[in-house]
Amino acid sequence: MPRIPISMPVDSPPCDFRLPQATLSYRRTATPLLTSEQALGAINVTAWLYRDRNGNEGIQVNPNITIAELARAFGPAATPDAEIGIHSEGVAAEWFRTRPGLRVLQIFSERIPCRHMCSPLLRRYYPGVPWYYYYDRNSWRGNGGELLKRAAGILKTAYGL
């Protein structure tokens, strides 16, 4: 059973527990499974709770698209600075952009949305929608700036794997 995630802002209502359960279920049913140390470290999964015009709720789950997947599909990036994957929050936001009849209620992402792309995107297009997450890389830095814990270890604990 997944643990309760951290919320942003901190005074948000509790996370709908179906969201972390949906991300764990996605990891357990993906082919290949996404529960290995390597997959937990490389793949971020996001789940968004939404309501349609009829009041029905649903959950949209999306993983990020890794650099390796993009390279297999399109070849290597033209320059090293272009070697970046597509973040799961961006994939989900695009899914919702093409479905304007859906209203996003909560956003869960295993890792805190990045401050350069995803956080600004969510603030701009989903103002007032609370975010929930398990891992914030900056919370696991030592006094010398070294990384004390990686996402895979935190996610294993959060999911009880």
CB 104 within 8 A of CB 48: yes
Using pLDDT thresholds of 50, 70 and 90, give the confidence band for residue 106. very high
Domains along the chain with CATH numbers: 6-159 (3.40.140)
pLDDT at 123 over 90: yes
Strands (DSSP E) contained in 41-150 are 45-51, 57-63, 103-109, 131-133
Residues 31-87: pLDDT tens digits? 999 999 999 999 999 999 999 999 999 999 999 876 667 567 777 777 776 666 678
Measured distance CA(48)–CA(103) in Å, rounded: 10
Q: Which pTM was predicted?
A: 0.88
Sheet holding 131-133, edge to edge: 6-8, 131-133, 103-109, 45-51, 57-63
